[in-house]
């Protein structure tokens, strides 16, 4: 039983980071093909900043999977922010917000150096992960054009939330699991809305229009 648990923990330590990275790559590819209509800039700016704090968390609390996942995730998230901002013609405003969020994330991550103050890093990392998908959910509930939002990306996000939740439980890191409590239902709402939009678009464009991409 212990061996099986160890193998599951090891597997999730690989799967969760992999899904985290692929989720971001899928969204970047979608924007490159179709533009960024319906994509929330706030979600991706927050994603990059939260990725920075989780890298700091991974080092401070010795959770290597967080470092492995969030380092490439941060790079691809930055790319998503750049191409989405260009597509939506908000590059200057986005740059200011991105720099500010990134600087704050760096300051928060530095609190992890001190054992006495690293609880600040854990609290903000968890809080950030809890709220990052909420802006995208609100956009999907209001917007009639979600062309730029990737179904594949948000399907992966759903599996990512489940994988991190299980992984956090198995390694006895509540902070790793806790964000999934909000992230999973939020992701589910986004996925449902984007899929419905794609189905409607398929009906208008003809049966050959893809739903999952």
Asked if residue 211 is part of any domain, the answer here is no
pTM, rounded to two decimals: 0.88
In terms of pLDDT, which residue wins out, 212 or 136? 136
Asked if residue 55 is part of any domain, the answer here is yes
Asked if residue 40 is part of any domain, the answer here is yes
User: What is the three-class DSSP state of 48?
Assistant: helix
* pLDDT tens, position by position, 70-90: 999 999 999 999 999 999 999
* pLDDT tens, position by position, 148-162: 999 999 999 999 999
Asked if residue 177 is part of any domain, the answer here is yes
* pLDDT tens, position by position, 2-24: 455 688 888 898 999 999 999 99
* Cα distance between residue 123 and residue 8, in whole Å: 27
Contact indicator for 187, 154 with CB cutoff of 8 Å: yes
Q: Could you tell me the residue range of the domain that residue 200 belongs to?
A: 2-205
pLDDT at 200: 82
Distances (CA, A) of 59 to 20, 36, 112, 126: 18, 34, 8, 15
Asked if residue 210 is part of any domain, the answer here is no
* Helix extents (H) in the chain: 2-34, 41-60, 64-88, 91-110, 118-131, 134-142, 151-170, 174-177, 180-205
pLDDT at 209: 52
Contact indicator for 98, 3 with CB cutoff of 8 Å: no
Asked if residue 162 is part of any domain, the answer here is yes
Is residue 40 predicted with pLDDT exceeding 60? yes
Asked if residue 213 is part of any domain, the answer here is no
Asked if residue 90 is part of any domain, the answer here is yes
pLDDT at 1: 52
Number of domains in the chain: 1
pLDDT at 144: 86
pLDDT band of residue 205 (cuts 50, 70, 90) is low
């Amino acid at each position: 039983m212990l061996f099986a648990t160890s193998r599951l923990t090891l597997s999730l330590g690989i799967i969760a980071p992999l899904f985290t990275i692929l989720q971001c790559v899928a969204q970047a590819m979608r924007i490159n093909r179709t533009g960024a209509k319906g994509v929330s800039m706030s979600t991706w700016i927050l994603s990059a900043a939260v990725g920075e704090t989780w890298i700091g968390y991974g080092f401070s609390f010795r959770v290597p999977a967080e470092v492995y996942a969030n380092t490439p995730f941060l790079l691809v998230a930055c790319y998503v922010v750049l191409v989405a901002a260009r597509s939506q013609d908000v590059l200057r405003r986005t740059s200011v917000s991105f720099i500010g969020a990134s600087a704050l994330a760096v300051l928060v991550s530095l609190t992890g150096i001190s054992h006495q103050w690293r609880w600040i890093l854990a609290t903000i990392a968890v809080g950030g992960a809890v709220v990052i998908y909420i802006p995208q959910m609100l956009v999907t509930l209001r917007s009639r054009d979600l062309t730029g939002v990737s179904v594949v990306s948000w399907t992966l996000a759903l599996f990512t939330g489940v994988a991190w939740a299980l992984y956090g439980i198995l390694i006895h890191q509540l902070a790793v699991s806790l964000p999934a409590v909000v992230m999973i239902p939020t992701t589910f709402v986004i996925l449902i809305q984007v899929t419905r939009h794609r189905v409607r678009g398929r009906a208008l464009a003809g049966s050959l229009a893809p739903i999952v991409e």
